[in-house]
Amino acid sequence: MDPPRTGSPYQPAIEALENHPEKKFYNVSNLGGAKYDTLPYSIRVLFESSVRNCDGFLVKETDAMNILDWKTKQNRVEVPFCPARVVLQDFTGIPAMVDFAAMREAVRNAGGDPVKVNPACPADFTVDHSLQIDFSKCAIQNAPNPGGGEQKPLARLSPLKPPLRKPPPCRGHSSCRGSCGAGEAGHSSGPFSAQIENTPILCPFHLQPVPEPETVLKNQEMEFGRNRERLQFFKWSSKVFENISIIPPETGMAHQVNLEYLSRVVFDVKNFLHPDSVVGTDSHTTMVNGLGILGWGVGGIETEAVMLGMPLTLTLPEVVGCELTGTVSPFATSIDIVLSITKHLRQADVAGKFVEFFGNGVSQLSIADRTTIANMCPEYGAILSFFPVDNVTLKHLKHAGFDKAKLEVTEAYLKAVKLFRNYESSSREPEYSQSGVKGFQIAAEKQNDVVPVQYEGNEYKLSHGCVVIAAVISCTNNCNPSVMLAAGLLAKKAVEAGLVVKPYIRTSLSPGSGMVTHYLSSSGVLPYLSKLGFEVVGYGCSTCVGNTAPLPEAIRNAIKQGDIVACGVLSGTKNFEGCLCDCVRANYLASPPLVVAYAIAGTVQIDFDTEPLGTDSNGKSIYLRDIWPTRQELHTVEEECVISSMFKELKEKMEKGNKRWNLLEAPESTLFPWDLKSTYIRCPSFFDKLAKEAVPPQAVENAHVLLFLGDSVTTDHISPAGSIARSSAAAKYLTSKGLTPREFNSYGARRGNDAVMTRGTFANIKLLNKFIGKPAPKTVHFPSGQTLDVFEAAELYQKEGIPVIILAGKKYGLGSSRDWAAKGPFLLGVKAVLAESYEKVHRSQLIGIGIAPLQFRPGENPSTLGLTGREQFSILFPPDLSPRMTLDIKTSTGKVFSVVALFENNMEITLYKNGGSLKFVARRFL
- pLDDT band for position 6 (50/70/90)? low
Tell me if 750 sits within 8 A of 680, measured CB to CB. Answer: yes
pLDDT (average), residues 198-223 = 44
Residue from 82, 83, 81 nearest 66 by CA: 81
pLDDT tens readout for residues 215-264: 555 655 666 666 788 888 988 998 999 988 887 776 554 445 445 567 88
Taking the C-alpha atoms of residue 369 and residue 763, their distance in angstroms, rounded to an integer, is: 36
Pairing of strands 873-875, 886-891: antiparallel
Residue 434 pLDDT exceeds 60: no
Residue 550 pLDDT exceeds 80: no
DSSP 591: -
Please state the φ and ψ torsions of residue 713, each to the nearest 5 degrees: -75, 120
- pLDDT band for position 649 (50/70/90)? low
Residue 539 pLDDT exceeds 80: no
* Radius of gyration, alpha carbons of the chain: 27
**Weakest-pLDDT range from 364-373, 470-479, 663-672, 832-841:** 470-479
Predicted local distance difference test score (pLDDT) of residue 581: 62
Calculate the alpha carbon distances from 859 to 569, 811, 884 in Å: 38, 15, 17
Taking the C-alpha atoms of residue 255 and residue 260, their distance in angstroms, rounded to an integer, is: 9
pLDDT tens readout for residues 737-753: 999 998 898 888 888 99
What is the sign of the dihedral through the CA atoms of 898, 900, 906 and 912? negative
- pLDDT band for position 519 (50/70/90)? confident
Mean pLDDT (the chain, rounded) = 81
pLDDT (average), residues 359-383 = 84
pLDDT (average), residues 772-791 = 95
Q: Residue ranges of the alpha helices (H) in 628-718?
A: 631-641, 644-656, 659-663, 715-718
386 CB-near residues (< 8 Å, 6+ apart): 40, 41, 42, 289, 292, 294, 354, 355, 356, 357, 374
Q: Which comes out higher in pLDDT, residue 817 or 800?
A: 800
Strand partners, 466: 603
The amino acid sitting at 926 is L
pLDDT (average), residues 349-374 = 87
pLDDT tens readout for residues 669-689: 999 999 999 999 999 999 988
How many residues are recorded in the chain?
926
Beta-carbon-side half-sphere exposure of residue 328 (alpha carbons within 13 Å): 21
Residue 272 pLDDT exceeds 60: yes
pLDDT (average), residues 24-53 = 95
Predicted local distance difference test score (pLDDT) of residue 141: 33
pLDDT (average), residues 621-640 = 81
- Which of 173-182, 332-341, 485-494, 701-710 is the most confident on average? 701-710
Identify each DSSP E strand in 376-438 by its residue range.
384-386
pLDDT (average), residues 599-621 = 92
**Weakest-pLDDT range from 4-13, 495-504, 526-535, 822-831:** 4-13
- pLDDT band for position 913 (50/70/90)? very high
Q: For the whole prediction, is pTM greater than 0.85?
A: no
- pLDDT band for position 574 (50/70/90)? low
Percent of the chain with pLDDT over 90: 48
pLDDT (average), residues 719-730 = 89
- pLDDT band for position 369 (50/70/90)? confident
Predicted local distance difference test score (pLDDT) of residue 817: 67
**Weakest-pLDDT range from 220-229, 417-426, 556-565, 769-778:** 220-229
Residue from 180, 95, 175, 189 nearest 139 by CA: 189
